[in-house]
C-alpha cells in the first residue's frame, strides 16, 4: 500500500474514527485503526459495539491495507508539519510514514484479523440534515440514565412514525423529548441507541445543512453522512411508553422568559451543596415566581416576573434538572405546566410540541 494525503485531512479522519477505538481490550488489533486503500482511502475504528468508517481524500499509488496502533498513529500525525503525508506498507507489515523531513517506521498488524463493520439493510431509512439531528441529540442526551441497573434507559429511544422523527431520553427523574416532522412518507422504526454512541455522534456531526441518512435494522443502526459511516449496536428490551406518562391536565401554567428563569435558577443553586437534600423552592403567585433555597451555608431568594394562569403553588425541584433543560432551549419564552404541588412539571414551547421536558419534583419543607 502506498498513499499520499494532506496532514490536516488525515488527522481529522483519525480523530473521528478514534472515537470507536477500544481502550480496554484483550484483543490488541482493536486498539488499532484499519487503513485501507482501494478505490478510496478509508480509516476504520471498531470496538465491536461502535464502529466508524471515514473516507479521506488521497492519491492512492498502490492499493493495500494495514492496522496501525491508534494512539501512536494519532500522535505522530498530530506532530507532523502541515504538509503532505506519505504512508507506505513494506514487507513484514512495516509502515513508513514520511512528511517533509520527518520519517517514521512503525510495526503494523495484518488487516485480515480486523472485524468488519456489519452491513445494514437500507429499507428503513430517514434523511435529515446534520444540523437538525445534531440538535435533537444534544437536546435530549443530557436526560439519558447513567444507572446500569436499568440498561434500557442508558440509551435514547429513536422513533420514526407518522412522518415524525422523535428522540426520547429518560433517567427516572426527568424526560426529554424532541420531535421533527417530514412531509413525505418515511420508514417506520423504533430503536434504542446507547447514550455512549450518541455522545460520540454529536461530536462528529457538524451544524450544517448537509444531509445524513439514518438506517435501522433489527440490532444495529447506521448514521451515514456520505464520507463517514457510524454503526452502533442497539440496546435490547422494551422502552417505557413515554406518551402514557405525560399529564394531560394541570393546575397552574406559567409563561416565562427562558433566559431569566435559567439565570435565576443558576444563581439560586449556587448555595446548594446537595441538590437532593437542598432543592430549590418555586413559589408561584401574583404574576411572579419566587425561587428560593435555604441551606447550611445560607439562603437565596430570586424573583422572576411571569404570566400565571391557574392556582398559586409551592413546589420544589432539583435545580440541575431545570438548568440542563433550559440551557438547551433556544425559544425566547416557554410554557411550564404544573399538575399539583407533588406532580411533575412539563416544559413546552408556546406553540407546537417540538420539545417536551418533564421534571419530577422533590419533597420540600414548607415552613
Q: What is the pLDDT of residues 10-24, one digit of tens each?
A: 999 999 999 999 888
Which string of b and e fits 7-44 if b means at least 16 CB within 10 Å?
bebbbebbebbbbbbbeeeeeebbbbbbbbbeeebbbb
CATH number assigned to the domain comprising residue 317: 3.10.150.10
Residue 367 lies in a domain: no
Residue 364 lies in a domain: no
Residue 232 lies in a domain: yes
Per-residue confidence (pLDDT) for residue 48, from 0 to 100? 92
134 and 161 in a single domain? The answer is: yes
Q: What is the DSSP string of 136-193?
A: HHHTTGGG----TTSGGGGEEEEEEETTEEEEEEE-SSEEEEEEEE-SS----EEEEE
Q: What is the mean pLDDT of residues 27-52?
A: 95
For the whole prediction, is pTM greater than 0.85?
A: yes
Number of domains in the chain: 3
Cβ(186)–Cβ(163) under 8 Å?
yes
141 and 87 in a single domain? The answer is: no
352 and 253 in a single domain? The answer is: yes
Residue 291 lies in a domain: yes
Could you give the strand order of the β-sheet that contains 84-89, starting from the edge strand earlier in sequence?
A: 59-62, 2-6, 84-89, 94-99, 102-107
Q: What is the mean pLDDT of residues 60-73?
A: 97
Q: What is the DSSP string of 292-344?
A: EEEETTEEEEEEEE-EEEE--EEEEE-HHHHHHHHHT---SEEEEEE-STTS-
195 and 231 in a single domain? The answer is: yes
Q: Containing domain of residue 29, as a range?
A: 2-113
Cα of first residue to Cα of last residue in the chain, in angstroms, is: 75
Q: What is the pLDDT of residues 238-284, one digit of tens each?
A: 999 999 999 999 999 999 999 999 999 999 998 876 666 778 999 99
- Coil/strand/helix, residue 234: coil
Q: How many CB atoms lie within 10 A of CB 234?
A: 18
Instruction: Give the span between the Cα atoms of 66 and 34, in whole angstroms.
Output: 6
34 and 11 in a single domain? The answer is: yes
Instruction: Give the span between the Cα atoms of 279 and 271, in whole angstroms.
Output: 10
Give the CA count within 13 Å in the CB-facing half-sphere of 307: 8
Among the candidates 67, 87, 113, a domain finishes at: 113
**pLDDT band of 124, cuts 50, 70, 90:** confident
300 and 317 in a single domain? The answer is: yes
Q: What is the pLDDT of residues 151-203, one digit of tens each?
A: 999 999 999 888 889 999 999 999 999 999 877 767 788 999 999 999 999 99
129 and 212 in a single domain? The answer is: yes
Per-residue confidence (pLDDT) for residue 278, from 0 to 100? 77
- Residue 96, pLDDT > 70, answer yes
Q: What is the mean pLDDT of residues 342-354?
A: 95
Instruction: Give the span between the Cα atoms of 233 and 49, in whole angstroms.
Output: 5
Residue 102 lies in a domain: yes
User: Quick one: cell of 139?
Assistant: 437536546
User: Quick one: cell of 243?
Assistant: 406518551
**pLDDT band of 367, cuts 50, 70, 90:** very low
- Residue 366, pLDDT > 60, answer no
Residue 118 lies in a domain: no
User: Quick one: cell of 242?
Assistant: 413515554
CA angle 360, 366, 367 (to 5 degrees): 160
193 and 294 in a single domain? The answer is: no
Among the candidates 239, 257, 290, a domain finishes at: 239
265 and 285 in a single domain? The answer is: yes
Round the average pLDDT of the chain to a whole number and report it: 93
100 and 132 in a single domain? The answer is: no
**pLDDT band of 295, cuts 50, 70, 90:** confident
351 and 320 in a single domain? The answer is: yes
280 and 208 in a single domain? The answer is: no
Q: What is the mean pLDDT of residues 322-326?
A: 96
Residue 201 lies in a domain: yes
Instruction: Give the span between the Cα atoms of 98 and 273, in whole angstroms.
Output: 54
- Residue 62, pLDDT > 70, answer yes
Cβ(32)–Cβ(40) under 8 Å?
no
Residue 366 lies in a domain: no
- Residue 135, pLDDT > 50, answer yes
Amino acid at each position: 500500500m502506498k498513499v499520499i494525503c494532506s496532514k490536516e485531512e488525515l488527522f481529522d479522519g483519525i480523530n473521528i474514527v478514534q472515537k470507536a477505538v477500544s481502550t480496554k481490550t484483550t484483543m490488541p488489533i482493536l486498539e488499532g485503526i484499519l487503513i485501507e486503500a482501494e478505490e478510496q482511502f478509508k480509516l476504520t475504528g471498531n470496538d465491536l459495539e461502535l464502529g466508524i468508517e471515514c473516507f479521506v481524500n488521497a492519491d492512492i499509488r498502490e492499493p493495500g491495507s494495514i492496522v496501525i496502533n491508534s494512539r501512536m498513529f494519532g500522535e505522530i500525525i498530530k506532530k507532523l508539519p502541515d504538509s503532505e503525508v506519505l504512508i507506505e506498507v513494506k514487507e513484514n507489515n512495516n509502515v513508513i510514514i514520511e512528511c517533509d523531513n520527518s520519517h517514521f517506521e512503525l510495526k503494523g498488524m495484518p488487516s485480515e484479523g480486523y472485524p468488519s463493520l456489519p452491513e445494514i439493510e437500507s429499507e428503513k431509512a430517514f434523511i435529515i440534515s446534520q444540523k437538525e439531528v445534531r440538535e435533537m441529540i444534544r437536546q435530549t442526551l443530557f436526560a439519558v440514565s447513567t444507572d446500569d441497573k436499568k440498561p434500557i434507559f442508558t440509551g435514547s429511544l429513536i422513533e420514526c412514525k407518522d412522518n415524525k422523527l422523535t428522540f426520547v431520553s429518560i433517567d427516572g427523574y426527568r424526560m426529554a423529548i424532541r420531535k421533527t416532522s417530514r412531509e413525505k412518507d418515511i420508514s417506520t422504526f423504533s430503536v434504542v441507541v446507547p447514550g455512549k454512541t450518541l455522545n460520540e455522534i454529536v461530536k462528529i456531526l457538524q451544524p450544517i445543512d448537509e444531509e445524513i441518512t439514518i438506517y435501522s435494522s433489527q440490532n444495529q443502526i447506521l448514521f451515514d453522512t456520505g464520507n463517514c459511516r457510524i454503526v452502533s449496536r442497539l440496546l435490547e428490551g422494551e422502552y417505557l411508553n413515554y406518551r402514557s406518562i405525560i399529564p394531560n391536565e394541570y393546575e397552574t401554567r406559567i409563561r416565562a422568559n427562558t433566559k431569566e428563569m435559567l439565570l435565576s435558577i443558576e444563581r439560586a443553586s449556587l448555595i446548594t451543596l446537595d441538590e437532593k437534600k437542598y432543592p430549590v423552592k418555586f413559589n408561584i403567585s401574583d404574576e411572579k415566581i419566587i425561587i428560593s433555597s435555604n441551606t447550611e451555608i445560607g439562603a437565596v431568594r430570586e424573583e422572576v416576573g411571569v404570566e400565571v394562569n391557574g392556582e398559586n403553588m409551592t413546589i420544589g425541584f432539583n435545580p440541575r434538572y431545570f438548568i440542563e433543560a433550559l440551557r438547551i432551549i433556544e425559544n425566547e419564552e416557554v410554557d411550564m405546566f404544573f399538575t399539583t404541588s407533588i406532580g411533575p412539571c412539563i416544559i413546552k414551547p408556546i406553540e407546537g410540541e417540538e420539545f417536551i421536558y418533564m421534571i419530577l419534583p422533590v419533597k420540600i419543607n414548607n415552613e
